[in-house]
Chain A
Amino acid sequence: MDPTQTKQGYQDYVDKKSPNSPIAKNLFNAFWTGGLICSIGQIILNICKERGFDITTSGTIVSIILIGLSAFLTGLNIFNKIGKFCGAGSLIPITGFANSIVSPAMEYKSEGYVMGVGAKMFTVARTCFSFWYFKCYYCWNYIFNF
Chain B
Amino acid sequence: MQKIGKQTIKFDAPPTVSECASIVGPKEADGPLCKYFDQTLEDEFWGEKSWEKAESKIIKETVSTLIGKSGVSTADVDMVIAGDLLNQCISSSFGLRDSNIPFLGVFGACSTFVESMSISAICVEGFAKNVICATSSHFCSAEKQFRFPLELGNQRPPTAQWTVTGSGAALISKSGNGPFITHITPGKIVDMGIKDANSMGAAMAPAFCDTLLTHFQDTGRNPSYYDAIISGDLGHIGKEISIDIMKSHGYNIKSNYNDCGVMIFDKASQDTHSGGSGCACCATVFSGYWFKQLQNKKVKKILLIATGALMNSTSSQQGESIPGIAHAISIEI
How far, in whole Å, are A99 and B149 apart by their CA atoms in the complex?
Answer: 10
Cβ A14 vs Cβ B194 within 8 A = yes
Cβ A2 vs Cβ B148 within 8 A = no
- Interface SS of B by simple majority: loop
Cβ B49 vs Cβ A110 within 8 A = yes
Q: Judge if B318 is at the interface, Cβ distance under 8 Å.
A: no
The residue that B206 contacts in the complex, of A1, A10, A80, A124, with Cβ under 8 A, is A10
Set of chain A residues within 8 Å of B194, measured between Cβ atoms: 10-11, 14
Interface residues on B, range: 20 to 34
User: Could you say which of A36-44, A56-64, A101-109, A130-138 contacts chain B?
Assistant: A101-109
Q: Judge if B13 is at the interface, Cβ distance under 8 Å.
A: no
Q: Judge if B333 is at the interface, Cβ distance under 8 Å.
A: no
Q: Judge if B269 is at the interface, Cβ distance under 8 Å.
A: no
Q: Judge if B2 is at the interface, Cβ distance under 8 Å.
A: no
Cβ B199 vs Cβ A14 within 8 A = yes
Cβ A84 vs Cβ B155 within 8 A = yes
Set of chain B residues within 8 Å of A51, measured between Cβ atoms: none
The 8 A CB mask of B229-257 against A (1 = contact, 0 = none) is 00000000100110011001100000000
How far, in whole Å, are A17 and B307 apart by their CA atoms in the complex?
Answer: 19
How far, in whole Å, are A143 and B148 apart by their CA atoms in the complex?
Answer: 41
Interface residues of A in 82-125 (CB under 8 A from B): 82-84, 86-87, 90-91, 96, 99-100, 102-104, 106-108, 110, 123-124
Set of chain A residues within 8 Å of B202, measured between Cβ atoms: 14, 17-18
Cβ A84 vs Cβ B153 within 8 A = yes
- Interface SS of A by simple majority: helix
How far, in whole Å, are A118 and B110 apart by their CA atoms in the complex?
Answer: 32
Cβ B152 vs Cβ A80 within 8 A = yes
Q: Judge if B87 is at the interface, Cβ distance under 8 Å.
A: no
Cβ A102 vs Cβ B151 within 8 A = yes
Cβ B192 vs Cβ A7 within 8 A = yes
How far, in whole Å, are A110 and B55 apart by their CA atoms in the complex?
Answer: 14
Cβ A103 vs Cβ B151 within 8 A = yes
Q: Judge if B70 is at the interface, Cβ distance under 8 Å.
A: no
12 more contacts with CB within 8 A, not counting A4-B209, A86-B153, are A2-B249, A3-B248, A7-B192, A10-B193, A10-B194, A11-B192, A79-B153, A80-B150, A84-B156, A96-B153, A106-B149, A124-B148
Q: Which residues of B contact A (CB under 8 A)?
A: 49-52, 144, 148-159, 192-194, 199, 202, 206, 209, 237, 240-241, 244-245, 248-249
Closest 8 CB pairs of A and B: A83-B153, A107-B149, A7-B193, A103-B151, A110-B50, A103-B149, A2-B248, A14-B202
CB pairs A–B below 8 angstroms (23 shown) = A2-B245, A2-B248, A7-B192, A10-B192, A10-B206, A14-B202, A14-B241, A17-B240, A17-B241, A18-B199, A19-B237, A20-B158, A81-B153, A84-B154, A87-B155, A91-B153, A99-B152, A103-B150, A103-B151, A103-B153, A106-B149, A107-B144, A110-B49
